[in-house]
Structure 1
Amino acid sequence: MARNDLTRVLAQAGLEPITPREACTALDDTLAGGHQFLGTGRVNWTAAYRLLPTVQTPRLTALLPALVEDQGLSREEVLAALAGMPAEEALQVIADTVTQLFAKVLTMPPEQLDHRRRLDEYGVDSLMATELLVTLRQQYDIDIPPMEILRSDGTIADLARIVHLRLGLGSAQSAG
């Protein structure tokens, strides 16, 4: 690739080079695991989604990382951005995202949601709570047991602290 100056062209398509060590490790894993097919690479999914619309077909979307809604960023890019922020700013970004997701579940404008009001005060039933937790799992690739929400203060701000902690971005002290 470097010899033919393809690195820049491929990076524009969202394909970034991997080191020889990464390639050999992937090859070892493939041979040891008995996989018939395997692709190894470092992909900027935002660029790939823009340049290669076929990756958005139903056949492939279940296999690829979802872009964070309205931002056009992959989960990895969002996590990297959150990790680079001060804790309070990251918590605010997560709370804003939780607010957007919760507003969709409730089918109401996000501006009407208060970060300090308990979620059950909005008339949330178990199905709505499950929908919110599933959406959070899809958004951040984390599992939050329903009991954890019940044991908490049950607010958007509290849910943001739980997400922040589960992402490995904060300590238990900062989360509570």
Structure 2
Amino acid sequence: MAKPLREGAKLMVPMDHLRPTQITIGAYHVAQKIHVTRRLSHADLPPFLDKHRVHVVLGPEHTLYVVDHHHWVRAWHEMGMEMVPAHVREDLSHLSQRKFWAYMVDNHMVHPYDEQGRRQPIKALPPDIHAMRDDPYRSLEAFVQLSGGIARSRQPTRISAGPTSSAGTSKGHSTPITALPPRWPARYSSR
């Protein structure tokens, strides 16, 4: 039996050993992270990478699952990096697959939602970082979050049209807000 990794351990891991815990990423957000990384000088890159370590959980069969910074790891993948800095959140390699995924779901460490906002079974998670699909609303969510518009949450984000008064209208608007545009995914509705 392998010695467990301690929480907080810092590692350099091969990109192709990482498994995502979400189905989608925002391609625009990834492009922004590529831009940020490319602007760094050679001397500034190591401390920057150390500050933005990918958070991983060691799962059954010693598989490394990314639980935070999927956009950074995808950006670095697209830049051709073969090794990425990682921070071990937990070593759960002693758990069975069933108990591992139950723990991941219970602790909000997996986000199995597709680009339509529909929850998918765990088996729908991509096999590698490259296979994560684009969801433009993930970029929108990230940029709104970065600008201070919404707080980071463990739950799927729901964007509403604003606080409503007792009459059911958005403050400052005279008509009730009853629905979002037809192509807006259900996970962003205010209901």
Which range, TM-score by smaller chain? Answer: under 0.3
Q: What is the TM-score with the length of structure 1 in the denominator?
A: 0.24
Where is the helix percentage greater, Structure 1 or Structure 2?
1
Tell which has more relative contact order, 1 or 2 (C-alpha 8 A, sep 6+). 2
